[in-house]
Amino acid sequence: MATEDALARARAAGLDLIEVSPTAQPPVCRIADYGRLKYEQSKKDKDARKKQKNWELKEVKLRPKIETHDYETKARMAERLLMDGGKVKVTIMFRGREITYASFGRRLLDRMAADMTPIATVEREPKLEGKNMFMILAPRPVPTGPPKFSSVREHKAEAKGASSDATVKEPTSA
């Protein structure tokens, strides 16, 4: 249809002539209300943004000579961040001559990756940049098992809470 004819039909109907596919031969147009089309498109865009997942990158810093309890605390923090849906950057900071023992840092990052395997995947392998070595962990869409550190402590607290409830006695009336 000729452009002038299409414009005349659109004006007669009180609507707009909207170009749908300008690259097609011949170009494809549609007769519709342009304001309504813009409104519907903005609603679709808003819904798409709402459903989009925003990844936050949080950082957990370690030292190469970290003690077991401190490591578990940091691992628990990393688990919590991963369970919340964010990515975690695990960084090992070397000071002074510690950099000559980068293998300790690599081993520590490998241990962290192994401990986080049920809930996370390694997105970026351990890499040494300057005096820091880091890797990035991303949460799994579907965890393959329970978290290693968080669940142990929570189960102990629940068990302790259940046993203390059982020992509470109600006062008797005389």
Same domain, 29 and 105: no
Quick one: pLDDT band at residue 155, thresholds 50, 70, 90? very low
CB 93 within 8 A of CB 62: yes
Mean pLDDT of 148-157: 59
Same domain, 28 and 73: no
Q: In this prediction, what percent of the chain has a pLDDT beyond 90? A: 43
pLDDT in tens, 77-128: 999 988 888 899 999 999 999 889 899 999 999 999 999 999 999 999 999 9
Q: In this prediction, what percent of the chain has a pLDDT beyond 70? A: 84
Domain count, the chain: 2
pLDDT in tens, 13-44: 999 988 888 888 888 999 989 899 899 999 99
Q: Residue 157 is inside which H or E element, if any?
A: helix 150-167
Same domain, 69 and 143: yes
CB 78 within 8 A of CB 88: yes
CB 31 within 8 A of CB 6: yes
Q: Residue 38 is inside which H or E element, if any?
A: helix 34-51
Quick one: pLDDT band at residue 159, thresholds 50, 70, 90? low
Res 131: pLDDT: 92
In whole angstroms, how far apart are CA 58 and each of 65, 70, 73, 138? 22, 18, 16, 11
Res 1: pLDDT: 81
Domain-located, residue 40: no
Same domain, 76 and 8: no
Phi then psi for residue 91, to 5 deg, are -115, 135
Question: In this model, does residue 162 exceed pLDDT 70?
Answer: no
Q: Which residues contact 99 (CB under 8 A, 6 or more apart)?
A: 131
Quick one: pLDDT band at residue 160, thresholds 50, 70, 90? low
Mean pLDDT for the chain?
A: 84
Q: Which residues constitute the domain of residue 136?
A: 57-149
